[in-house]
Chains A and B, each alone.
Chain A
C-alpha cells in the first residue's frame, strides 16, 4: 500500500485527514511519521498504532500531530526521562537520578516550586517569590537569526509570566563561530557567524528593550563548533507578590486564549528543534521560526498582571513549543481534568489554516488562562482595556479526555492518560576518557604581549558595543550593571533591587566554558557550576539557586550521550557540594550540522539573594595604597585555558573543583562582603590572574605592582602558568590596609596571598617569581587591547 492511500480525506468542508494505521508495518509507520513531520520513532509510532487499533478507528491528522508535539524531545524531554544503559548499569532518568535528586536531597525550605511549572520558583522575602527560567533557541536562530533570537527572548519572558510572575530582568548567553571564519569553508545552507551575530543581537535587544525588561547579564563566547549551530540562551527572572501564585484549574473553568493571533508561523517548531540541522533546513524549516511582536507581549503582560492582582484567574501557562496542543493538554492533565476545545473560536492570522495547523501553531505572544465562569466578564474587560485579544476557546471537564472540535466536528478525542504517558525510550551511552597530551610550551621571558593578546582574544575582550544595545536600566532597579568604573570594566554579575520598600536584592550570574567541554564533560560542568556561583558570590549573592541548560549533540548517538551522563553526574556532585539546588533547566539536544556535533556546552545560571544591596561589591579597584589579595590556590591546570588556546594548544589537565574547600572559600568571601571588608572583588576565570588583575586595574585609574612569588600555588614554578592558570574557586580582592588584620583573621585557613598594593601610577607591573618584571605596561594600553575586538570580518 502506498503512503498516499493511507491518508483518507474526511467528509468535511475543511481539510481533515484520517490516517490508516491498523495494517501499517514499522516501515510504513516511520514513513508516516517522517512525512507528517511528527518526529516520532518506531517504538512511539507502534504505541500509537496499538492505541488506535484498540479503539477500532483511525487517528486524524490533528491527533497524530498532537502526539508528535506532546511526545517531542522539546516538550517531553525524553532523553532526560528515558532509561540509559551504560557500562556501569542502567540510569532510570537523568533528571530524576541526578539533577533533581540533588535538589531533593538538599531539601532547602526556600525552594518553593522546582522542576514543576514553567519556571523554578524560590522564596525572596515576606512571601514574595522569585521565578527563573533559561531557554535555548539555537535552531531557529541558525535559520533566521533575528526572529529566532527575538522569539527566544519573547518565549522565555512568558515562562515567569506563566507562573504569574512579573518579568524583572533578562539574561542572554550567546555562542558564535569565529567572526573571521573563512566564508569559502561554509557549507551550503550555513550562514556566516558575523551575519548570525548581527541578527541575534538585534533580535534580543529589540524584544527586551521593547518590552521594557532590562537585559542585565550574559556572555558571548566563540567556538568553531558553533559555526554550523549557533548557541542562543535566553533567560528571564520574575517576581510574584505574596499569595498570587495560583494553580487551581477546575472542572467547569473556561480555557481563555489571550494575546496574538494564530498563524502558520511556528509550525513544527519543536520537531525541528528535536532533529539535527541539515543543508535543507533553510528551505524546509523556515516556517518553523516564529515572527516576533514584542509590543503584543508587553500589552498581554499588563493584562495578565492585572488579572493576577485582582485574583481573577485560576491557572496560567505559556504557549511555547507545541503551541496550544501542548499547553492546553498539559494544563488539563496537571489539574486532573479533561478539556474540550473549539478551534473555530481561535482568532487567526489567515483564514485557510487546517485544524491541525491551528492546534499546533507556535505563533508567538499567546498564553492560556483558566478562569472561573463567574470571573470571565471581568477578565475580558481587563484584556479589552489593554487592547489584547482574549477568547474563550474551551471548557475544562471532569472526563479525562482531550476533545478538540472544529465547527462542530470532533477532530481529536484522546485519553489524557495515553497522551501523557509516551513509551519510555531506552538509550545507550558510552564514555571513554579521552587523553590529551600536555603540550610543550617554552616559557616566554616577557608576558606583556601575551597578556594583551589574551585581553583582545574574542572570549575575553570587551563586548561593550553589543551589550550597550540592550537596555539594562529600564525599570530603574539595576543596582549593579554590566559595566563598572570610568572605563567600563566587566562586572561578575548583575544585581537587581526588585522591591521599592526593601534593600534586598537578586544577584544574577552565569558560568560557561566550551573549551573545557572538549576535554572532559564532567570537569567542564564542575567548572561552569563553580564559575556561576563564584561570580554570584563576588557581587554579594548568597543562598544561591542554579539553572542548567545543556546544549548537546544527538543523544541517539551513544558517545554524545556518554558525555551528557558525565556532565549530569557533575551537576549532582557539585550541587550537593555547594548546597546550591537546581530549580529549573532545559536541554537542547540534536545540535549537529553538516560541520559535525556541537562542543558539549553547559550554561549554569546562578540566582542569589543579596541581603542588603548597599553591601554590593563591584570589580574595579577603588583606592590608592589598598592591598590586593588573591584568594584560593593556583594549580598547574592549563588544559583548555585561554593561554593555551591563544598558542593553538589544548592540553588535558583542565581545572578541577575541590568541593569542600571551594564551599568554605565562598562562605568566607560572603562573610567578608557582609562585614564590608572588600573594596573590590573579581572572579578569576579565562586568562586567570593576569586578566582578572588587568581588568580590575584598567576599569579605574589606579596602577599596581603584583608579585607572583607571593601566589599560593601547587607544583607551579613558571611565571606564565601562575599568571594564566584558570584554577577554579579563586578571587582577587581589594582590602584597605586599615582592615588588613580583620580580613586575614576572617579568612583563617583559606589560602590567601597578598600579591600587591595599589598605587597612583598609570602602570601595571607583574614581577616574576625571581623578582624581575614579566609584565610592564600602562593601564591605557591594556584597556586598548581589551576594547579592540573586531565585530565583523
Chain B
C-alpha cells in the first residue's frame, strides 16, 4: 500500500478494545496535514504492517479495561504480537507517541523511560493517583526539555502549556531503592519533557491539584534517551482547538488553536527536518 501523498506523513493511531481517544487524536493530526488513520491492533497483526507507517500514536482510553494495571495487557500484546516490528520501527527512527493510556502502555512495554535502552520489564510505573481517584481537570505544564525530545521542538524551554488530564493512574514513580539515581539519570539524559507547574510556571512541588497525581519531580511527560519515543499523561488532543479551552468564553477573542497543537506539530515537523 502506498501512502496517499508522498509529502503526507502516514500516522498509525493504534487502538484495541477500550481505547477511546483515537478519533480526536486522529483529527488533530489530520488537521495538521498528516495522513492519519485509526487502526485496530487485530488489523495490524492480521493484514497490515506497522512498517507501512511513518509514525505510531498510542492514544488514551482504558485498553482492555485496564483490569490488571493500566496499560499492562495491551503492552504485553504489543510485545508478543508485533514486538520485532516495533523494534525495526524504532531502529528506523520513526517516532512513537503515547498519550495517557498510551504513556502507560509505553512504560509497561519497557520503551519508557528506557534509560539503558529498551528494557525487557517495566522500569518505572504510572501508579494510582495520590488522591486515590480518577480526576479530570486542566493543569499547567512547563516544558523542560533541552532539545532531545522531537515532540516539543516547537516549544521554547520553560514554556508554560495549558492542557487537561483525565486519569486515575498517572503518578509517575521510579523504584524506591534507586529513585534519586534514576531521576538524576533522566535529567542528565534530557528525558524530562513536561512537568506539572503553577500558572506562572513555578514548580508545583508535588502540591495538589497543580500536580494532580503525586508524580515524582512533578513529571507529566518523558521521552526515551533518543527523543523519538514520548509519553505524557495530559491530553494534547483535547487542547488542540481554542474552543476546547475551559476559559475561552472569558477571552476577548477566541483563539483558533490551543497549546496541544504544538506537540503534534513538532512531531510532524520532525519529518520535514529529516
Contact = CB atoms under 8 A, between A and B. Distances in A.
Interface size class of A (residues with CB under 8 A): 35 or more
Interface of A: 205, 209-212, 293-295, 298-299, 302, 385-387, 468-481, 483-486, 497, 500, 613-614, 616-618, 620, 622, 700
Nearest to A464: B137
Given A473-B164, A473-B235, A484 B249 contact: yes
B244 A476 contact: yes
Contact of B62 (A295, A500, A613): A295
B187 interface: no
Given A295-B62, A471-B134, A614 B243 contact: yes
Given A294-B65, A473-B166, A480 B249 contact: yes
Given A212-B21, A478-B244, A485 B250 contact: yes
Interface string B52-69: 000000001110110000
Contacts of B254: 614
Given A472-B136, A485-B250, A618-B249, A295 B64 contact: yes
Given A293-B65, A478-B244, A622-B250, A468 B17 contact: no
A476 B24 contact: yes
B120 interface: no
Given A476-B238, A620-B250, A212 B61 contact: yes
30 contacts: A205-B134, A209-B62, A209-B166, A210-B18, A293-B65, A295-B17, A295-B18, A295-B62, A295-B65, A299-B17, A385-B40, A386-B40, A387-B17, A469-B134, A470-B136, A471-B134, A473-B136, A474-B20, A474-B21, A474-B166, A475-B23, A476-B27, A476-B238, A479-B244, A481-B246, A483-B246, A484-B247, A497-B243, A618-B250, A622-B250
Given A480-B249, A481-B246, A471 B17 contact: no
Nearest 6 interchain pairs by C-beta: A212-B20, A476-B24, A618-B249, A295-B65, A299-B17, A295-B18
A522 B199 CA distance: 49
Nearest to B15: A302
B55 to A, nearest CB: 20
B240 interface: yes
B17 A386 contact: yes
B65 A475 contact: no
A478 B43 CA distance: 31
Does more than half of chain A's interface fall in helix, strand or loop, or is it mixed? loop
A163 to B, nearest CB: 20
B136 to A, nearest CB: 5
Interface residues of B, number: 35
A298, A474, A476: which has the most chain B beta carbons within 10 Å? A476
Interface string B124-140: 00000000011111000
B133 to A, nearest CB: 5
A211 B20 contact: yes
A743 B243 CA distance: 26
Interface string B231-274: 00001011011011011011000100000000000000000000
Nearest to A465: B133
A299 B133 CA distance: 25
Contacts of B65: 210, 293-295
B42 interface: yes
Given A471-B136, A497-B243, A210 B62 contact: yes
A385 B243 CA distance: 35
Contacts of A622: 249-250
A613 B238 CA distance: 17
A468 B137 contact: yes
A115 B137 CA distance: 37
B213 to A, nearest CB: 13
